[in-house]
C-alpha cells in the first residue's frame, strides 16, 4: 500500500489547482514556486515522492481548468490563446459551456494518449533526445522562420498599387514588429530583469500577463460586449470521429512542445494545426484542449521517464531540487496519478464551467474586465513589485500591436524564442552586448 499516500497527495494537488486555476492569469508554476520554498524550509514535513506527486496533481488540474478563465474572463496565456479565438464565438452564441466541454474532452484524450505511449516512451525518447540535442538551435530557428512566414495578408486587398502594398504589409509588418519587440524584451528579462532577485522564479510572470491577458481585457473594457444567456447542454456537437481527429492533432503538437525546450503549448498547437490542416471549429477546440494537457502533463511526465529524466517546464525543474525519479516503479506510479487526476479534473471542469456559465451573463462585461485587470495588477505587483509592473506595462503595449493591426498574437512568444535560440546558437551574449545589457 506504499502507493496510496502519494496518490492521495496527487488528488489533493488537483483539488487545490482546480480552485487556483480559476484565478485569471495566475499560473500554477508561480504557486508551485511558493510550495517549493516552503518544502525547502521544512524538509521533513512532506516526503519528496509525495511532493512530486502533489505537483503532478497541480499540473493536471491546471491543464484542464485554466481553460475556464481564458474562455469566460478573456485572460489567456500562451497555451490557451488559440482556444480563446473560437471560444469567444461560442460564448457570444450562448455556447460557452459547450466550448469548455469540448476542450475538456480534448484534455481527456490527451491523458489517454499519454497512457498509450507510457510503455514506449522509455525506449523511444532517450535515443531521440540524443539525436536532436546537438541540433536544437536550428530546429528552433526553423520554428521561428515558419511562424513568421505563415503570417500572410488577411482579407481582400483593393485599391491602387500603393494601397495594396501597405494593406498587405499592415498585418505582416505588425507580426514582425511584435516578434522583434517581444524578443528584445526577452533579452532584457534574461540579462537585466527588473524583477527582484529573491523572486527570480517569477521572472516571466509580468511579461506573459502583459503580452497575452492585459490586451484582451483592455479590448473588453473598450467594446463592452454583453453576453447572452449560456445554454447548459448535456451533450456536445461532436462525433467520436471528430473527437479522435482533434485528439490526434493536439497530441502531435503537445508532444512536440513538451519534448523540445522553449516551444510552448501555443506554438505546438499552431504547428499541429498546420500539419493536420484541421478546419472544423469543434476539432480545433478539442485539439487545443489536448495540446494543452499533453504539453503541461507530458513535459512533467518526462521527468519520471526511465533512462530520460528530462526536466522540461518549470515544475520538473523545481521538483528536481528535492527528488529524483530513479525507478520504473516511480514512473508507473506517476502515470497512475496522472490518470486519476485527469478523470477528477475533467469532472471539476464540468462543474465549475456549468456554475460560471450560469452566472457570467449577469455580470456586466466591462465591470468584469475591470475587476480582472485590477486582480492581475495586484497579483503581479504583489509577487514582483514595481519592477514587475513596469515590465507588464511594456509587455502590454507590445501585446496590443497584434490586436490593433490584425496579426497573430502568437508572435509575442518571441519573448522566449528569440533570446533562447540565439543563446543556443552561441550568439546570445553578442546580441546582449550590442544592446548594452552586458
Band the pLDDT of 56: cuts 50, 70, 90. Answer: very high
Mean pLDDT of 39-68: 89
Q: Does residue 42 have a pLDDT over 60?
A: yes
pLDDT at residue 35 is higher than 90:
no
Residue 44 is predicted with a pLDDT of 82
Q: Is residue 277 very low, low, confident or very high in pLDDT (cuts 50, 70, 90)?
A: low
Q: Report pLDDT for 160.
A: 75
* Boundaries of domain holding 60: 4-434
The pLDDT of residue 393: 95
Coil, strand or helix at 23: coil
C-alpha cell at 351: 462543474
Phi, psi dihedrals of residue 410, rounded to the nearest 5°:
-65, -20
Q: Does residue 2 surpass a pLDDT of 70?
A: no
Give the phi and the psi of residue 80 in degrees, each rounded to 5: -115, 0
- What are the pLDDT digits (tens) for 205-238? 899 889 988 888 888 788 767 778 888 888 888 8
Q: Round to whole Å and give the CA distance between 410 and 112.
A: 28
pLDDT tens digits along 345-401: 999 999 999 999 888 888 887 888 888 889 889 988 888 889 999 999 999 999 999
The least confident of 233-237, 247-251, 394-398, 418-422 is 233-237
Q: What is the pLDDT of residue 394?
A: 95
Tell me what pLDDT residue 153 has.
Answer: 65
pLDDT score recorded for residue 57: 95
Q: Is there a contact between 395 and 211 (Cβ–Cβ < 8 Å)? A: yes
How far is the C-alpha of 319 from the C-alpha of 316, rounded, in Å? 5
At residue 79, does pLDDT exceed 60? Answer: no
The mean pLDDT value for 27-53 works out to 83
Tell me the range of 151-155, 164-168, 184-188, 236-240 where mean pLDDT is highest.
184-188
CA dihedral over 258, 261, 265, 271, signed as positive or negative: negative
Residue whose C-alpha is closest to residue 204's, from 411, 33, 71 = 33
Output the average pLDDT for the chain.
85
What's the pLDDT score for residue 25? 66
Cβ–Cβ < 8 Å for 261, 302: no
Number of domains comprising the chain: 1
Cα–Cα distances (Å) from 222 to 219, 300, 389, in that order, read: 5, 39, 22
Amino acid at each position: 500500500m506504499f502507493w496510496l499516500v502519494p496518490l492521495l497527495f496527487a488528488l489533493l494537488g488537483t483539488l487545490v489547482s482546480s480552485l487556483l486555476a480559476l484565478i485569471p492569469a495566475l499560473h500554477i508554476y508561480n504557486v508551485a514556486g511558493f510550495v517549493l520554498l516552503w518544502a525547502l524550509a521544512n524538509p521533513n514535513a512532506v516526503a519528496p515522492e509525495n511532493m512530486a506527486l502533489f505537483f503532478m496533481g497541480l499540473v493536471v488540474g491546471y491543464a484542464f481548468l485554466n481553460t475556464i478563465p481564458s474562455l469566460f474572463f478573456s485572460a489567456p496565456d500562451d497555451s490557451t490563446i488559440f482556444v480563446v479565438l473560437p471560444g469567444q464565438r461560442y460564448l457570444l452564441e450562448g455556447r460557452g459551456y459547450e466550448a469548455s466541454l469540448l476542450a475538456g474532452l480534448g484534455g481527456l484524450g490527451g491523458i489517454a494518449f499519454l497512457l498509450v505511449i507510457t510503455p514506449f516512451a522509455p525506449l523511444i525518447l532517450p535515443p531521440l533526445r540524443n539525436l536532436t540535442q546537438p541540433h536544437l538551435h536550428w530546429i528552433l530557428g526553423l520554428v521561428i522562420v515558419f511562424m513568421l512566414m505563415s503570417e500572410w495578408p488577411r482579407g481582400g486587398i483593393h485599391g491602387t498599387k500603393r494601397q495594396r502594398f501597405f494593406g498587405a504589409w499592415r498585418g505582416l509588418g505588425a507580426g514582425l514588429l511584435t516578434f522583434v519587440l517581444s524578443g528584445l524584451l526577452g533579452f532584457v528579462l534574461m540579462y537585466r530583469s527588473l524583477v527582484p532577485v529573491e523572486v527570480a522564479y517569477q521572472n516571466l510572470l509580468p511579461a506573459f500577463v502583459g503580452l497575452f491577458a492585459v490586451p484582451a481585457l483592455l479590448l473588453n473594457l473598450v467594446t463592452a460586449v454583453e453576453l447572452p444567456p449560456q445554454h447548459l447542454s448535456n451533450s456536445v456537437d461532436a462525433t467520436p470521429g471528430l473527437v479522435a481527429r482533434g485528439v490526434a492533432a493536439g497530441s502531435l503538437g503537445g508532444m512536440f512542445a513538451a519534448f523540445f525546450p522553449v516551444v510552448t503549448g501555443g506554438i505546438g498547437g499552431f504547428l499541429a494545426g498546420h500539419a493536420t490542416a484541421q478546419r472544423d471549429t469543434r476539432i480545433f477546440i478539442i485539439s487545443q484542449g489536448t495540446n494543452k494537457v499533453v504539453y503541461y502533463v507530458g513535459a512533467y511526465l518526462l521527468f519520471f521517464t526511465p533512462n530520460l529524466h528530462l526536466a522540461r517546464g518549470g515544475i520538473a525543474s523545481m521538483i528536481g531540487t528535492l527528488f529524483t525519479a530513479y525507478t520504473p516503479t516511480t514512473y508507473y506510479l506517476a502515470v497512475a496519478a496522472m490518470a486519476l487526476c485527469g478523470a477528477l479534473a475533467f469532472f471539476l471542469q464540468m462543474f465549475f464551467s456549468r456554475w460560471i456559465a450560469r452566472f457570467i451573463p449577469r455580470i456586466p462585461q466591462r465591470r468584469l474586465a475591470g475587476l480582472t485587470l485590477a486582480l492581475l495588477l495586484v497579483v503581479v505587483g504583489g509577487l514582483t513589485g514595481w519592477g514587475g509592473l513596469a515590465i507588464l506595462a511594456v509587455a502590454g503595449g507590445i501585446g496590443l500591436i497584434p490586436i490593433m493591426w490584425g496579426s497573430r498574437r502568437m508572435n509575442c512568444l518571441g519573448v522566449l524564442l528569440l533570446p533562447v535560440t540565439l543563446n543556443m546558437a552561441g550568439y546570445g551574449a553578442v546580441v546582449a552586448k550590442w544592446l548594452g545589457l552586458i
